[in-house]
Amino acid sequence: MTIHFGTSGWRAVIADEFTFAAVGRVTEAICSQFANEVGRPVVIAHDTRFLGEVFAAECAQIIVEQGFEALVCTGPTPTPTVSHAIRSQHAVCGINFTASHNPPEYSGIKLSTADGAPALPAVTTKVEEFLAKPAENRAKSAAPKSARRFDPRDAYLADLEQKVRFDVISRAGGRYAYDPLWGTGRGYLDELLRHHGLSVTTIHDWRDVLFGGRAPEPEASHLGELKDLVLADKCVLGLATDGDGDRFGVIDANGQFITPNQLIAILFDYLAESRNWQGGVARSVATSHLVDRVAASHGLPVYETPVGFKYIGELINDDKIILGGEESAGLSIKGHYPEKDGLLACLLAAEAVAARGASLTDQLEQLFAKTGRLESGRIGVQLTPELMPVLKEKLKEEPTNLCGRRVKTINRIDGVKIIFEDDSWLLVRPSGTEPLVRIYAESESAKDMEVLLEQGRKYLLG
Q: What confidence tens digit (pLDDT) does each residue in 106-117 have?
A: 999 999 999 999
CB 141 within 8 A of CB 67: yes
Which of 33-37, 80-84, 304-308, 385-389 is predicted least confidently?
385-389
Question: Tell me: the pLDDT tens digits for 393-439?
Answer: 878 888 888 878 999 999 999 999 999 999 999 999 988 777 888 99
How far is Cα 86 from Cα 208, in angstroms, rounded to an integer? 27
Average pLDDT, the chain: 94
How far is Cα 303 from Cα 338, in angstroms, rounded to an integer? 15
Out of 3.30.310.50, 3.30.1370.60, 3.30.1360.40, 3.40.50.1820, the CATH code matching 375-461 is: 3.30.310.50
Give the max Cα distance, the chain.
Answer: 69
Give me the percent of the chain exceeding a pLDDT of 90. Answer: 86
Question: Does the global pTM surpass 0.75?
Answer: yes
Mean pLDDT, residues 239-259 taken together: 98
Q: Which pLDDT value is given to residue 144?
A: 64
pLDDT band at 139 (very low <50, low <70, confident <90, very high): low
Q: State yes or no: pLDDT of 209 exceeds 60.
A: yes
DSSP collapsed to 3 states, 84-145: HHHHHCCCCEEEEECCCCCCCCEEEEEEEECCCCECCHHHHHHHHHHHHCCCCCCCCCCCCC
Mean pLDDT, residues 225-249 taken together: 98
Start-to-end C-alpha separation, the chain: 32
Q: State yes or no: pLDDT of 384 exceeds 90.
A: no
Domain ranges of the chain: 10-153, 163-371, 375-461
Mean pLDDT, residues 142-154 taken together: 84
Closest CA to 112 of 317, 326, 273: 317
10-153: CATH class: alpha beta
Provide CATH code, domain 163-371: 3.40.120.10
Q: State yes or no: pLDDT of 142 exceeds 70.
A: no
